[in-house]
Structure 1
Amino acid sequence: TAQGKPFTPAGFTNWFRDMVREAKLPDGLSPHGLRKATCRRLAEAGCSPHEIMAISGHKTLSEVTRYTDAANRQKLAKRAMDSFGKIETGTKIVKPGRKV
């Protein structure tokens, strides 16, 4: 807080709402959204679930697994698509009317 004391959950929510309005950001942004985005970014950066829990304050692995699973799926999908792009199919382009 401005007085150097920790925010209460409600106090932080109110402060965050005021900052969003002051910055003219879209309605609907929330402190939970920040927490979620931070967890997702940490997972994408390769942090373990336990490391994310230490930062975010989540109490159980199941809560954090949502973020790590999503990040892992994204990495696996990218790796698969990168591999797919390297496949040579042997398909040749033939002019119409030519026998292959």
Structure 2
Amino acid sequence: MTLEVPVLPVLAAAISATPVIGTTAFLVTHAGKPFTSNGFGNWLKDRCVETGLPHCSAHGLRKAGATIAAENGVTVKQLMAMFGWRTSQMAELYTKKAEQKRLAHGGMAFIDLERTGDLFLK
């Protein structure tokens, strides 16, 4: 499956600031060959550990992106397009969690200890 996904401005700036020499792939191994998906994930995990961030990973960054997008109101279909998911199941996990959070936040205003539901008694 081929995805066409715009590059975020912050990533575009980082790519522009990095010299790419004689390759068609931006992310390459020490041998100058493009990373495989698993190879890049392992490489990034090693860099995270080296920098004192052992809890970080490529998968974690992907999850963070999906969470941020869902909490900012992205639709299920938009998440599917952004992350290459063929079914809505994964996208719905993120949008349902974000919706629960929004609903809970909005509902908390109804807990008013000064007003205890006496409207039903009148």
Instruction: State the TM-score bracket (shorter-chain normalisation).
Output: 0.7 to 0.9
Cα distance between partner residues in 1 of 2:52 and 2:28: 21
Cα distance between partner residues in 2 of 1:60 and 1:90: 44
Cα distance between partner residues in 1 of 2:87 and 2:33: 28
Cα distance between partner residues in 2 of 1:85 and 1:31: 43
Cα distance between partner residues in 2 of 1:46 and 1:87: 33
Task: Report the CA distance between 1:22 and its aligned residue.
Answer: 2.6
Task: Report the CA distance between 1:83 and its aligned residue.
Answer: 2.8
User: What is the aligned partner in structure 2 of residue 8 from structure 1?
Assistant: 36
- Pairing of 1:74-85 with structure 2 (within 5 A): 74-85=101-112
User: What is the aligned partner in structure 2 of residue 98 from structure 1?
Assistant: none
CA contact under 8 A between 2:28 and 2:34: conserved in structure 1? no
Change beyond 3 A, Cα 1:9–1:22? same
* Bigger Rg, structure 1 or 2: 1
1:65 aligns with 2:71: no
Identical residues among aligned pairs (%): 39
Structure 1 regions of 5+ residues with no counterpart?
A: 92-100
Letter in 2 for 1:17: K
CA shift digits 1:38-59 (9 cap, x unpaired): 1111100000011111111111
Structure 2 regions of 5+ residues with no counterpart?
A: 1-26
Cα distance between partner residues in 2 of 1:36 and 1:50: 16
Letter in 2 for 1:15: W
Task: Report the CA distance between 1:2 and its aligned residue.
Answer: 4.1
* Length, aligned pairs only: 90
Q: Cα RMSD over matched residues?
A: 2.6
TM-score (norm 1): 0.73
Change beyond 3 A, Cα 1:5–1:71? farther
CA contact under 8 A between 2:71 and 2:95: conserved in structure 1? yes
TM-score (norm 2): 0.61
